[in-house]
Amino acid sequence: MTEFIRKQYSAHRDVILYIFWGGVTTLVSYAAYFASRYALTAATGRPDKDNLILTAATAVSWILAVSVAFVTNKLFVFESRSWRRSALARELPPFFAARALSYFIDEGLTILCIGILGWNEPLVKIMNNVIIVAFNYIASKFVIFRKIG
């Protein structure tokens, strides 16, 4: 059984690590979203389901989550260890472009599902993150951190 687990881990290492670090990034995103939503609601007196509050909280959560994701993906998942300008110039633009697209997906789903349809907010945020993690894995593996040469 141990050998089977080792073989599976070896065969799917990047997926397993991506899911683990994606979970860490999701926790960062989730905590930042609710903390900033609470703080913004308290500071502005606007309703907590107000689209401006939802959008701002999602933006804060996105910035923190993307920062964590870049470092963890680069170092631990796809093992791109170079911090040279050429490596960063090749990795940062598509990474942030993919994450920007993810951001707009998250914003749109948040406003639609919570602000308009009135769905359960924590469940919507979890659903959004599942969709985003899958999209970002594909972009990271096949575009951003692909092995060159």
If pLDDT is split at 50, 70 and 90, which confidence band does 132 have? confident
So what's the pLDDT on residue 27?
94
- Give the confidence band of 34 by pLDDT, cuts at 50, 70, 90: very high
Residue 26 has pLDDT above 70, yes or no: yes
For 53, residues 6+ apart whose C-beta sits below 8 A from its C-beta are 37, 40, 41, 44, 46, 47
Name the average pLDDT for the chain: 89
The half-sphere exposure of 100 on its side-chain side, counting CA atoms within 13 A, is 6
Confidence of residue 148 (pLDDT cuts 50, 70, 90): low
Question: What percentage of the chain has pLDDT greater than the value 70?
Answer: 99
Using CA atoms, how far apart are residues 106 and 101, in angstroms rounded to an integer?
9
Q: Is 60 exceeded by the pLDDT of residue 51?
A: yes
Residue 119, φ and ψ in degrees, nearest 5: -70, 165
The model's pTM: 0.71
Residue range 77-125, pLDDT digits in tens:
988 888 999 988 999 999 989 999 988 888 899 999 999 999 999 999 8
pLDDT of 149: 56
Beta strands in the chain (DSSP E): none
Angle (CA) 1-137-114 rounded to 5° is: 110
